Amino acid sequence: MIPPRGPEESERTLHYAGPATFGRVPRLDEVPDTDIAVVGVPFDSGVSYRPGARFGGNAIREASRQLRPYNPAQKVYPFHFAQVADAGDISANPFDVNEAIETIEEAAGELLDTGARLMTLGGDHTIALPMLRAVSRKHGPVAVLHFDAHLDTWDTHFGNRYMHGSPFRRAVEEGIIDTSALSHVGVRGPVYHEDDLTEDAKLGFGIVTSADVMRRGVDEVAQQLRERIGDRPLYISVDIDVLDPAHAPGTGTPEAGGLTSRELLEIIRGLADCHLVSADLVEVAPAYDHADITAVAASHTAYELITIMSRQMGPARWSRVAAEPGA
């Protein structure tokens, strides 16, 4: 096993030139093995309001060009400590939601079978269900932290059970997430009925609203989340609309009163010791953002999530290297 290959860094490297892989890391086919695979899912046929998240993954990749190798907030070189590679995109049928979900689940499972953890770039939030199915086959029911303005535990929309507002209800019904360790973070705004909140609680979710974050502060919120998660395998799902539209205008269903990008990043950093097995970041719709503000926030969020996984996988990688003959 060879040391990880990270992005090329020198005074002569043009961050805006060359292939737009995430953080300018190598492609999956350029490395012998991968610890963390960044994979895009350009699917947005499950949205109920503004479409366009199918272009989110590539917008995040473009914004990630300026990410640098050392993360001072977490004190680690994420691209050097573990092998991060860009696995390209999963092509899912945009005209058939059910078929798309099956395709995404199968492709995610194949990547997980290599031993990699996944940082998935959506796409709309429909994709969280097949990702959770694939992850649960490897780890069993997982704890879930869901950063979002919305509950996403509704039942149906126009009779459709599979769309971006229902993935976590379906996941509870299928028994693929740990109902003793579920939390929404950043929820706010009107809902259809008061019963929406009671039904959500019956599924097992706790709620940290955006107002809670403002009043209690990121450190207290992160501590509460750590206590709820414990040492369980954790899946984090980030809908970029958890941010206030001032920080993320490029999304399909914006709601006023959201988190700042600083608050989101600090809460995620506060989860660095949790057992993060995979994550997704969804609902970036670049057509509604003339200055790429949303994609920049998303790229930094994905960078922090990758850093957490890298910190956890890096020691195992280096112990394997040290154990190899001739190391």
Residue labelled with tokens 């009779």? 159
Cα 270 to chain center, whole Å? 16
Name the token pair of 77. 């070189």
Annotated binding residue 125:
yes
**239 among the known binding-site residues?**
yes
**R_g of the chain computed on alpha carbons:** 19
β-bridge partners, 119: 38, 279
**DSSP strand E in 51-140: where?**
84-89, 117-122
| Neighbour-count burial for 97-112, b at 16+ CB within 10 Å, e otherwise | beebbebbbebbbebb
**Is 150 annotated as belonging to a binding site?**
yes
Nearest Cα neighbor of 254 from 113, 49, 97 is 49
3-state secondary structure at position 237: strand
Q: Is 292 annotated as a binding residue?
A: no
Confirm or deny that 241 is annotated as ligand binding.
Answer: yes
Residue (of 185, 42, 13, 161) closest to 107 by Cα position: 42
List the binding residues for Mn(2+): 125, 148, 150, 152, 239, 241
Annotated binding site: which residue ranges? Answer: 125, 148, 150, 152, 239, 241
